[in-house]
Amino acid sequence: MESSANERSLTREPLDPARADAFAPMFKALGDPVRLRLLSMIASARGGEVAVGDLTGAFHLTGPTISHHLKVLREAGLVDSDRRGTWVYYRMIPAALAVMGTLLETGFPV
């Protein structure tokens, strides 16, 4: 997902229905505290990626539950993954966060 002039701030113009449908899954995925933490852990991982096994110890959840949350983040277009042997590694999709940031940009000084 690339950031472009089409991803303007919500304060500059209203979203049309198609854009709202496209971006809602990203925001919905981050509405869960576990997924928000997972995304933060992936984004801050040294080397830009992290193995699922390195994520599970930070939660009091089963492996399948963590995998489900990672699947939601992947389907929302926020992370990508690849399998190397028995390990699955996750990494951020920076363009997705850039689009979300642009949408939320207010144009007002903080």
Which CATH number do you get for residue 22? 1.10.10.10
With respect to residue 77, please indicate whether it lies within any of the assigned structural domains. yes
With respect to residue 11, please indicate whether it lies within any of the assigned structural domains. no
pTM: 0.82
6-16-31 Cα angle (round to 5): 90
Query: Tokens at residue 63, please?
Result: 């492996």
Query: Tokens at residue 64, please?
Result: 């399948």
Residue 107: its pLDDT value, please? 56
With respect to residue 35, please indicate whether it lies within any of the assigned structural domains. yes
With respect to residue 26, please indicate whether it lies within any of the assigned structural domains. yes
Residue 65: its pLDDT value, please? 95
Choice between 53 and 1, residue whose per-residue pLDDT is larger: 53
Residue type, 97: L
Residues 6+ apart with CB under 8 A from 38: 55, 66, 69, 70, 73
Size (the chain), residues = 110
Mean pLDDT of the chain: 86
- Domain extent, residue 69, equals 17-104
For 51-74, how does the pLDDT look when each residue is reduced to its tens digit (9 = 90+)?
999 999 899 999 999 999 999 999
Number of domains in the chain: 1
Per-residue pLDDT at 109 exceeds 60: no
With respect to residue 49, please indicate whether it lies within any of the assigned structural domains. yes
With respect to residue 6, please indicate whether it lies within any of the assigned structural domains. no
With respect to residue 73, please indicate whether it lies within any of the assigned structural domains. yes
